[in-house]
Chains A and B, each alone.
Chain A
Amino acid sequence: MPTAPAGTLYRGREGMWSWVAHRITGALTFFFLFAHVLDTALVRVSPEAYDTVIATYKNPIVNLLEVALVGAVLYHALNGVRVILIDFWSKGPKYQQAMLWSIVAVWMLLMIPGVYFMLEHTVSAIFGGS
């Protein structure tokens, strides 16, 4: 593995990957938003048109995609706060790595119960809850 050039906090290290993930989650969320606004616009066509399209989303695959979307946006938001602190807080650059592990911890803490509530319906539908 090539080592990172001297004098960089970020390149080749966790910081770089935090940026890569920020970029990917931001771009994916933007594409999702395009689809989300346009399908919601079907409420101006007719209740039937809207309900027909939304019905195609009511399956376990889309439920997993919802979890992925929430996970991606949550990471992007938490890391966004970290980026803002690096830029504006005088000690931000010094603690950038500690802040990265902190947001990863917060992400896990929120996602574990979040995933449970988001998948509850699908799990009980597949495994036959009441």
Chain B
Amino acid sequence: MTSAEAPDIRAPRTQRTFGSSGRSNFELYSWLFMRISGLVLIFLVLGHLFIMNVLDGGVQRINFAFVAGRWSSPFWQVWDLLMLWLAQLHGGNGLRVIINDYAERDSSRMWLKAALYASMVLVLVTGTLVIFTFDPNIS
């Protein structure tokens, strides 16, 4: 079985071989992305939780009218859209790493990642569509 390759980790301080090695820098960029998105998510996610759960009283206070009130402002629409994409890509990439760590068989890794990517696409597409097409007067 030689499908989805296991991430092979070289000894620390191995000299990087440029060109012709066929390696990509994907893992480097994903490592960097985790840190940059994490910093932005501090404001977006902790701000969201603070407003919704601490100031506004949590799910007790939520209903359709509350959502309509919030999404009447482009500011919160942009906030939520950015938060959706960053959290989903950050969390999804984190889960990809976790799958690589624990799923040892090629086939289990492949199926788990297929399920992960499918769920990410579902959440991103549905979430984006809902924010863009929200209609406060839907009957």
Contact = CB atoms under 8 A, between A and B. Distances in A.
Interface of A: 23, 26-27, 29-30, 33-34, 37-38, 40-41, 43-44, 46-47, 50-51, 54, 57-58, 62-63, 66, 69-70, 73-74, 77, 80-81, 83-84, 87-88, 114, 117-118, 120-122
Interface in B19-65: 35, 38-39, 41-42, 45-46, 49, 53-55, 57-60, 62-65
The winner among B54, B65, B68, B138 for most chain A CB atoms within 10 A is B54
Contacts of B42: 77, 80-81
B63 A54 contact: yes
Given A47-B65, A54-B62, A70-B53, 8 more contacts: A26-B94, A33-B88, A38-B122, A41-B127, A43-B130, A84-B38, A87-B35, A121-B57
B119 A34 contact: yes
Contacts of A66: 53, 58-59
12 contacts: A26-B91, A30-B94, A34-B119, A38-B126, A44-B133, A51-B64, A54-B62, A69-B49, A73-B49, A77-B41, A81-B39, A120-B57
A62 B62 CA distance: 13
B84 A37 contact: yes
